Structure 1
Amino acid sequence: MAHDVMVIGAGIVGISTAIHLLRRGQSVVLVDKNRPGLETSFGNAGIIQREGVRPHAFPRDLATLMQVGLQMSTAARYDPLALPRFAPALMRYWWESSPGHYAHVVKSYAPLIARSIEEHADLIAASGAEDLVVKKGWFLIFRSERALRDEAAKAKTDLELYDIHHRVVDGSEFAQIEPDLRETLAGAIHWTDPWTIRNPGALVGKYFDLFTSMGGEFLAGEAKGLEQDGDGWSASIEGKRYRARQAVITLGPWAPDVLDPLGYRLPLFVKRGYHMHYKPEDGATLNNWMIDAEVGYCLAPMDMGIRLTTGAEFAMRDAAPTPIQLGKAERVARALFPLGERLDPQPWKGARPCTPDMMPIIGPAPRHRGLWVGVGHAHHGFTLGPATGHLLAQAMTGEKPSIDIRPFAMERFGTV
């Protein structure tokens, strides 16, 4: 075998997996048709969401469903022509979001998200990326007192159950924290545990540099025709065949391109998202990351400018961009904060890989020896990349994973 492991997909999950495999003495080749970290790992809000024990559930209240259904929501929109393709996964998403099922999801998900900060901290220190990190949490802002009270009650429960820390900040205090806001808010939940990153793409680049400095090999090209080859795996990359003892698929929304031909029809779907950077007007300063809870967008002070990221667009992965949400969010955000000119020539578009039960797939493929998968992280791919990579490397090399990964097994979907 030319390598012990072939990692297909060089986003944050793939790079993290490759690093942890190298640490365990494995020879690793990392494969991607694009520059590492350029896709979904690049265009996120830059928050390591330690508080995110509750993944994004399908809305079940009539008011929200009506808003989304009538395309009035800023947080979520859909392409009507894509709905027939999405329907089976969305129906299961709705089912898994019922109170009983969702409670089980949260219980399984919490131990994974609990590892997010410590796993990033490990790779940040090893890659020398401390200058990209801000360790003062982020703010979930509210326009109504009732919504703030409801979220504060949930936050109190999460503190008691999952040791997630927060402060409730009233409107007057928040106006002092962010004095350049144009509107007065009801207040905010200050999640104090998470870290934020001033340039997510640069952080993934630092992790990739760490991988290469450890002796990892990178191949630029699309891995085609992945198949079992004797006692290992082989794939064609730029016309040349490469072999490895094991293969791991960390391709995010592109995973079906490799897994479908092997007979794994996973119920993956995408939530697309957009971002744009802005120059602040008149010397205004945004001091903190904040998510507008009742509208559905994030403002983040990044190296490239103030980044506005959108909510979820349910559309086909490769369909043409439709940055309608960005326009809606931008209008609301400009009323809240003095955003100036756009700094990017066009909005960035990415695709979040999602599963109907809101949890990633981490572990072995059940019908093929030596084939592993780490995909489906939805809104938390950036947060969970290092944790997933560590768990995969442990399992692939015969170690007992740091947490039980059985809840994330592919077999739970019953389609494999």
Structure 2
Amino acid sequence: MSVDAIVLGAGIVGVSTAVQLARRGKSVVLVDRRGAGEETSFGNAGLIQREGLVPYAFPQDLGLILRYGLNNRIDAHYHLTALPKVFRFLSSYFWHSNPARHAVIARSYAPLIENSINEHKELIEAAGAERFIRKDGWVEAFRTGAVRDKAATEAERLAREYGIDCQVLTSEELARAEPHLSRDFIGALKWNDPWSVLDPEGLTKAYLAYFESLGGRFVKGDAKSLKQVGSGWQVMTDDGTVDGAQLVLALGPWAGDITTQLGYNLPLGVKRGYHMHYGSTGNAVLNNWLMDKERGYFLNPMTQGIRLTTGAEFALRDAPKTPVQLARAEAVARTIFPLAERLDAEPWMGARPCTPDMMPVIGKAPRHKGLWFAFGHAHHGLTLGPVTGRLLAEAMYGETPFLDITPYRPERFGA
């Protein structure tokens, strides 16, 4: 096959990019070693986070860092043996998280988040995927007044500066919203703007079906077979050789394997995460996506059951699973909601692709004709898939991107 564009990676970012290219009349082949949405895009908390304007920073408080050093928390865990190999990423992540630098980064990051709902909405409607979506936000529950008050102050700022819709819930209001939740919480914030996704894999596959209805093709193949041929690119697939004039790397946590192979030295890292699905005891119902803020885990009422998701694990991407955070989170979650049996045979683990400045890499590769990058979305891959796809498709074929992509270009890392 010879096509206008090849997209490597069929997660939410790759599929969304392929859709946008096909909508512009381009012949597109989407390539992945697995099915669409079966890697990182499978295991997220299922939120399109319109409120997530401020990327997750590395803690700057020495006391908190020391507490993380004890390695006994739910929201973060690390492999001691991995620290020497991830030190470059972590030290740069810490440097970029300085409050002054982080504020500048957040202002550059915010336009992506601000457009997340609108870009998803267009694809959801075109793909007929409304069955996967709820539009009633999510709840952040608090155990202490100090944490609640800090979060409420930040919510007020986001409302003032970005028009975010959020309301403070008293403990009584939270109890009415979640009658089967324990009374451990003194109140909550209800973020009203975000949409929740009942089945992230299902949504990704719905976008894939839309892509195929536009004439696009999805084939199995290995990104490591990529090579430059003349003025274009070539990949080996189960259906034979595919040649493309343009190529998009949307490989998530595996992007670094190919960028390194091509001579780029991007400071990419991963944050691993885990999930498990549960039933509920008796007639207990969890009505909202709910975060236990001080403990650092999510409970999400999804199609497969109530999904418990953990925070970040700093480890080598391909190291064996160590779901200690999941075990810790489950023990706490069972004290606040009547979870029943585990529904999965084993914990799911995935790796979030991260950059040290907390922003994705979106744009043209500096030293290769026809090569484009779309990875590094960290905690917001599901949120930012369609935004990224549109921006990249516009840039690839001479349109003026609807947002300035300069802050996200790979050159910021000296690539």
Q: TM-score, normalised by structure 1?
A: 0.98
Q: How far does the alpha carbon of each residue in 1:21-71 deviate from its partner, in whole angstroms, 9 at most, with x for none? A: 011111000000001110111101101000001111001113321221111
The answer to which of 326-335 and 258-267 deviates more is 258-267
Residue 57 of structure 1 pairs with residue 53 of structure 2: no
Q: How far does the alpha carbon of each residue in 1:379-412 deviate from its partner, in whole angstroms, 9 at most, with x for none? A: 0001100110110011011101110000001011
Residues of 1 paired with 2:237 and 2:83: CA distance?
Answer: 34
The answer to which of 156-165 and 349-358 deviates more is 156-165
Name the count of aligned residue pairs.
Answer: 415
The CA deviation at 1:235 is 2.1
Asked if 1 retains the 8 angstrom alpha-carbon contact of 2:97 and 2:357, the reply is: yes
The CA deviation at 1:238 is 4.3
Cross-structure match for 2:28: 28
Moved over 3 A (4+): none
Residue 376 of structure 1 pairs with residue 405 of structure 2: no
The CA deviation at 1:226 is 2.0
Asked if 2 retains the 8 angstrom alpha-carbon contact of 1:82 and 1:315, the reply is: yes
Q: How far does the alpha carbon of each residue in 1:169-204 deviate from its partner, in whole angstroms, 9 at most, with x for none? A: 111110111000123311111110000011111111
Cross-structure match for 1:275: 275
Residues of 2 paired with 1:242 and 1:126: CA distance?
Answer: 28
SS at structure 2 position matched to 1:374: strand
In the TM superposition, what are the counterparts of 1:74-153 in structure 2 within 5 Å? Answer: 74-153=74-153
Asked if 2 retains the 8 angstrom alpha-carbon contact of 1:171 and 1:188, the reply is: yes
Cross-structure match for 1:297: 297
Residues of 2 paired with 1:205 and 1:168: CA distance?
Answer: 36
Residues of 1 paired with 2:241 and 2:19: CA distance?
Answer: 23
Residues of 2 paired with 1:238 and 1:259: CA distance?
Answer: 23
In the TM superposition, what are the counterparts of 1:12-411 in structure 2 within 5 Å? Answer: 12-238=12-238, 240-411=240-411
The CA deviation at 1:78 is 0.3
Asked if 2 retains the 8 angstrom alpha-carbon contact of 1:224 and 1:237, the reply is: no
* AA at the equivalent of 2:356: P
The CA deviation at 1:257 is 1.7
Residues of 2 paired with 1:370 and 1:145: CA distance?
Answer: 53
Q: How far does the alpha carbon of each residue in 1:204-251 deviate from its partner, in whole angstroms, 9 at most, with x for none? A: 111111111111011112133322211211122349432100000000
RMSD (Å), alpha carbons:
1.1
Residues of 1 paired with 2:132 and 2:33: CA distance?
Answer: 26
Q: TM-score, normalised by structure 2?
A: 0.98
Asked if 2 retains the 8 angstrom alpha-carbon contact of 1:360 and 1:375, the reply is: yes
SS at structure 1 position matched to 2:279: strand
Residues of 1 paired with 2:224 and 2:91: CA distance?
Answer: 32
Cross-structure match for 2:2: 2
Q: How far does the alpha carbon of each residue in 1:323-378 deviate from its partner, in whole angstroms, 9 at most, with x for none? A: 00000000111101010100000001000000000000000000011100000000
SS at structure 2 position matched to 1:279: strand
SS at structure 2 position matched to 1:56: coil
* AA at the equivalent of 1:194: P
Residues of 1 paired with 2:22 and 2:89: CA distance?
Answer: 36
**Identity within the alignment, %:** 53
* AA at the equivalent of 1:317: R
Q: How far does the alpha carbon of each residue in 1:248-305 deviate from its partner, in whole angstroms, 9 at most, with x for none? A: 0000001112111110121111100000000101210000001111111000001111
The answer to which of 19-28 and 239-248 deviates more is 239-248
Asked if 2 retains the 8 angstrom alpha-carbon contact of 1:119 and 1:387, the reply is: yes
SS at structure 2 position matched to 1:362: strand
Runs of 5+ unmatched residues, structure 1: none
Q: How far does the alpha carbon of each residue in 1:51-101 deviate from its partner, in whole angstroms, 9 at most, with x for none? A: 001111001113321221111221000001110110011000000000111
Runs of 5+ unmatched residues, structure 2: none
Asked if 2 retains the 8 angstrom alpha-carbon contact of 1:48 and 1:382, the reply is: yes
CA, structure 1 residues 294+109, in 2 after alignment: closer, same or farther (shift >3 Å)? same
Residues of 2 paired with 1:239 and 1:306: CA distance?
Answer: 38
Asked if 1 retains the 8 angstrom alpha-carbon contact of 2:36 and 2:201, the reply is: no
Asked if 2 retains the 8 angstrom alpha-carbon contact of 1:183 and 1:335, the reply is: no
SS at structure 1 position matched to 2:278: strand
Residues of 1 paired with 2:59 and 2:47: CA distance?
Answer: 23
* AA at the equivalent of 1:34: R
The CA deviation at 1:145 is 1.1
Asked if 1 retains the 8 angstrom alpha-carbon contact of 2:221 and 2:235, the reply is: no
Asked if 2 retains the 8 angstrom alpha-carbon contact of 1:8 and 1:32, the reply is: yes
The CA deviation at 1:167 is 0.3
SS at structure 1 position matched to 2:235: strand
Residues of 2 paired with 1:16 and 1:309: CA distance?
Answer: 24
